[in-house]
Amino acid sequence: MVQVHSLNISPPLINSSCAWASDYAQLRELYQCAEIGAITTRTATLKGFNQDETHTVAFSNTSVTTVNSYGYSPHPLASYIEWVYELLTSSGARLKPVIISVTDSDPDKLRELLSQIQSLRSRLRAVSSGHDGTSDLSRFVAIELNTSCPNIKSKPPPAYTLPLLKPLLNVLAESFYEDGTLTIGLKLPPYIYLTQFSDLVDCLAQYSRAGDKEILTIPFAFLTCTNTLGSSLLFTDQVLPRSTTPSSDVQSSFALPTGLGGLGGDAMHSLALGNVYTFSQLLASSEDAAVKDIKVIGVGGVTNPEARKRMHAAGASVVGCATLLGFKGVEGFKLLSQ
């Protein structure tokens, strides 16, 4: 069992945000999967992402690796709000936390996304006493801000450029200072040199302040490391036939219609481990007690039980995966639990 602010994640294994956590049927199947202690939705926006045939995924034919050109979910946040309400209030299933992944590069739109999630949490609080008399259901909902999708044209992942990220962190911080029960995390991209990590930790530390009883608190309860590695390329002879997209143009030898996409799975496991390790070390060595308390969710190339163990050894409190889910469905979590 791992406590991440208001979330109790047991076992500490989750799906990370991805195309296979997109609709209600997929989320319900994940929610009912006994091997995972929390679920994460695909990244939602206010109006839904305009998805077309250029947005897809290809599966490597030599390892558990993917390359994908997806943007965000075509479903708007309003759909996820209703689905999450249904999952948490429908009787029968064991209660587990739901991490709602959201994004927008516009601080005002992010504020609106947060306000919709806070309304959901108010509704959940209102029905909690009648539920099983003990649990405050609002504490089962967390927000993960996706700061790291590599596939959005003319919108670079803000976590690579602090002046783009800070206005978004300010909005998250505002919400947290108003309601300290809110659990907030950041989905980060893979970083490749030390000052990228230390600059981010220094930036987060600026939001630490004394809360109730003068105990230091910080708006950010967890960092999910990492998203896919952008600008990656696979050719059609490197991927499974079911994942190739027929194309008549000159670039038809690329596995993705866009050519470039985000790399996930075995091929980026070492980089993800390095990111988890570096953040864990930096957070642990902080002199600020609130920064020390930030948890790392390790994601990237977790495709077998050994990789899951390596993530914990590198410093992850909770471990997640996406590519394995794409290859094997929820059965993948049984494999990780062996």
Ligand X SMILES: Cc1cc2nc3c(=O)[nH]c(=O)nc-3n(C[C@H](O)[C@H](O)[C@H](O)COP(=O)(O)O)c2cc1C
Give contact residues for ligand X (rule: CB under 6 A): 16-19, 42-43, 57, 66, 68, 70, 72, 101, 146, 187, 227-228, 264-265, 299-302, 321-324, 326
Q: Shortest distance, CB of residue 26 to ligand X, whole angstroms? A: 12
Closer to ligand X by Cβ: residue 57 or 137 = 57
Q: Shortest distance, CB of residue 67 to ligand X, whole angstroms? A: 8
Q: Shortest distance, CB of residue 204 to ligand X, whole angstroms? A: 18
Q: At what angle do helices 107-131 and 77-89 cross, to 10 degrees?
A: 20
Q: Shortest distance, CB of residue 131 to ligand X, whole angstroms? A: 29
Q: Which amino acid is at 177?
A: Y
Closer to ligand X by Cβ: residue 2 or 19 = 19
Closer to ligand X by Cβ: residue 101 or 138 = 101
Q: Shortest distance, CB of residue 320 to ligand X, whole angstroms? A: 7
CB-based burial label for 213 (10 Å; 0-12, 13-18, 19+): exposed
Closer to ligand X by Cβ: residue 124 or 145 = 145
Closer to ligand X by Cβ: residue 16 or 245 = 16
- Measure the CA–CA gap between 70 and 252, rounded to whole angstroms: 18
Contact 51, 110 (CB under 8 A): no
| Residue with smallest beta-carbon separation from ligand X | 264
CB-based burial label for 28 (10 Å; 0-12, 13-18, 19+): middle
Contact 292, 283 (CB under 8 A): yes
Q: Shortest distance, CB of residue 32 to ligand X, whole angstroms? A: 20
Q: Shortest distance, CB of residue 57 to ligand X, whole angstroms? A: 4
Closer to ligand X by Cβ: residue 183 or 227 = 227
Token pair of 161, please? 């450029």
Q: How far is CA 36 from CA 40, 96, 212, 240, 336, in A?
A: 11, 9, 33, 28, 10
Closer to ligand X by Cβ: residue 44 or 137 = 44
Contact 5, 297 (CB under 8 A): no
Q: At what angle do helices 162-178 and 107-131 cross, to 10 degrees?
A: 30
